[in-house]
Amino acid sequence: MEVIKVNTDNFEQIVLKSEKTVLVDFYADWCGPCRMVAPIVEEIATEHPEYLVCKVNVDESQKLAIDFGLVSIPTLLAFKNGKEAGKIVGVRPKEAILEMLK
């Protein structure tokens, strides 16, 4: 699967109502560490169809960043059954991200 771009308008429908475990990458285009984690997130989307993988641009969806208490990017959140189930801040290896999704 490919990475799905979500925003304030469609976050609830796509992420919170998903039957799959969801990985959400909160990022900004200007953020160097975000650009480092992006290929890892794309690999997970391609290699693990059991997960729904999404990206939220915090500059375009500031309300979501505030709602989830983000203080730094990149922040990766895992959601299961509509609830936050894991959080990683900063660049981490793919194995750590996959472990959070289990």
Catalytic residues: 31, 34
Whether cis (ω within 30° of 0) applies to the bond prior to 93 is no
Vertex 15 angle, CA 81 and 89, to 5°: 95
Q: For residue 46, give Cα distances in angstroms to 7, 50, 71, 74, 86.
A: 21, 10, 28, 20, 21
